[in-house]
Amino acid sequence: GAGAGRLHPPVSQAKPSMAPDHGSKVDISFAGRFTASAIAACFAEITTIPLDTAKVRLQLQKKAVAGDLAGPKYRGLLGTAATIAKEEGAAALWKGIVPGLHRQCIYGGLRIGLYEPVKSFYVGENHVGDVPLSKKIAAGFTTGALAIAVANPTDLVKVRLQSEGKLAPGVPRRYTGAMDAYAKIVRQEGVAALWTGIGPNVARNAIINAAELASYDQVKQSILKLPGFKDDVVTHILSGLGAGFFAVCVGSPVDVG
């Protein structure tokens, strides 16, 4: 009898961790979330930056082309990428990769790393059941705004490096690299210049982040209620596809201009 009594506490202590709610209550620390998010975001940055560089050149050309009678130099996203590679070498498509990786470590890490803690803060400690969509949107908006407010200098330096096209012979580059750009901007324009464009940047990234993370969370919650689905890679991929589609729909109007 006494022996059996001693067995009870460990069994009852083990019970909560053995009973996953939706299968998604694995408790990952903020450092764990931040690191995983930053690594994933950096991998995405390395693969997509050539198209991003082309997009920056196209957007800058649209602003400049009004008074230019020669006609546009860059045509279409892939055409622009091809022109950059031909004129400046393929490596030029990865201009801005260093500040791009700085950006993803800070912005990617914070926006996703802080999402769960901020969401928990908004619903309150004693909340039971599904988190309302409004709270997910609020959490995504908050973490997107906070993350880009911290990461704004990396965005600024990235765009400045990407925007520098082919130079005439003998003309020196404006910046030799990312660290040189940070230092020169502070020295020549002041520390506050690193936060140029902070208003539109916060608005755009907060909206896109809210759309992406809230829709991911909502799609995942809905999938897990379907028979046969559990919290595994398939569910994560489906949720990611849903979130990506929704974020593009919401983000495109915000991202133009």
Q: How confident is the model at residue 226 (pLDDT cuts 50, 70, 90)?
A: very high
In a domain, 118, yes or no: yes
pLDDT digits (tens, 9 = 90+) for 113-158: 999 999 999 999 888 889 999 999 999 999 999 999 999 999 999 9
Give the pLDDT confidence score for residue 14 in this predicted structure.
Answer: 43
Q: Average of pLDDT values for 41-53?
A: 95
In a domain, 113, yes or no: yes
pLDDT digits (tens, 9 = 90+) for 51-71: 999 999 988 887 766 555 567
Q: Average of pLDDT values for 230-249?
A: 91
Give the pLDDT confidence score for residue 9 in this predicted structure.
Answer: 47
Tokens for 42, please give them. 């950096």
Give the pLDDT confidence score for residue 12 in this predicted structure.
Answer: 43
Q: Are residues 203 and 189 part of one domain? A: no
| Length reported for the chain | 257
What is the rounded CA–CA span in Å between residue 10 and residue 243?
A: 41
pLDDT digits (tens, 9 = 90+) for 73-89: 888 899 999 999 999 99
Give the pLDDT confidence score for residue 26 in this predicted structure.
Answer: 64
**Of 177, 35, 221, the residue nearest 112 (C-alpha):** 35
Q: How confident is the model at residue 250 (pLDDT cuts 50, 70, 90)?
A: confident
pLDDT surpassing 80 at residue 200: yes
Q: Are residues 192 and 202 part of one domain? A: no
Contact criterion met (CB below 8 Å) for 150 and 198: no
Q: Are residues 59 and 37 part of one domain? A: yes
pLDDT digits (tens, 9 = 90+) for 175-196: 999 999 999 999 999 999 999 9
Q: Quote the number of domains for the chain.
A: 2
Q: Are residues 237 and 130 part of one domain? A: no
Contact criterion met (CB below 8 Å) for 160 and 196: no
Q: Are residues 248 and 123 part of one domain? A: no
What is the rounded CA–CA span in Å between residue 208 and residue 143?
A: 11
pLDDT digits (tens, 9 = 90+) for 9-37: 444 444 444 444 444 456 789 999 999 99
Give the pLDDT confidence score for residue 17 in this predicted structure.
Answer: 41
Domain that holds residue 222: 198-256
